[in-house]
Amino acid sequence: MGTYWTAFYVGGLICVFGQLMIDVIKLTPAHVMATLVVIGAVLDGLGLYEPLIKYAGAGATVPITSFGNSLVHGAMLEAERNGIVGIITGIFEVTSAGISSAIIFGFLISLIFKPKG
């Protein structure tokens, strides 16, 4: 099981990696986000992300890499149940709550607040 310490340093290292992509490789924030998602997806494909979550807890689930992990995880679970079509239908199975929340809360907040520039 993860501890506060493992969550802190694993999550922190993922963020350091993101910051280095901005500062050293000069990637745009959009590229950094996409790269981290893809890394998370690849790690889960290799079966490595679940052990990381067990070890670091929120340190691995809060960063955006976890989204890539969830995409692949949902697709693989659904593929086991429904075969090849499950790869398509399962992609958003685990992540649908996150995506729907982003849309719904984004909409609600935009009704209340106005950007200040």
Partner 1 sequence: MKNKVGKQTLKFSNVSILSSSSVVGEMEAQGPLTKEFDELYDDQYMGKDSWEKAELFLLERSLDIAIKKANLSKTDIDYYLAGDLLNQNISAGFSARTLGQPFLGIYGACSTSMEGLTIASTLIEGGFGKYAMAAVSSHNATAERQYRYPTEYGGQKPVTAQYTVTGAGAVIVSTVPSNIKVTYATIGKIQDLGIKNPFDMGSAMAPAAADTIAVHMRDTGRQPSDYDLILTGDLASVGYPIVKELLKRDGIILGTEYNDCGLLIYDRERQQVFAGGSGCASCATVTYGYVMNQLSKKKLNKVLIVATGALLSPVSYMQGESVPCIAHAVAIERKEN
Q: What is the C-alpha to C-alpha distance for residues 81 and 38, in angstroms, rounded to an integer?
A: 24
Rank residues 12 and 51 by Cβ distance to partner 1 and give the closer one. Answer: 12
Residue 93 contacts residue 79 (beta carbons within 8 Å):
no
Q: Is residue 112 a contact residue for partner 1 (CB under 8 A)?
A: no
Piece in contact with partner 1 (CB under 8 A), picked from 26-34, 53-61, 74-82, 85-93: 26-34
Phi and psi for 91 in degrees, rounded to 5? Answer: -55, -45
Return the residue of 28, 82, 100, 101 that touches partner 1, per CB under 8 A: 28
Return the residue of 13, 16, 20, 22 that touches partner 1, per CB under 8 A: 22
Q: Is residue 115 a contact residue for partner 1 (CB under 8 A)?
A: yes
Q: What is the C-alpha to C-alpha distance for residues 106 and 61, in angstroms, rounded to an integer?
A: 21
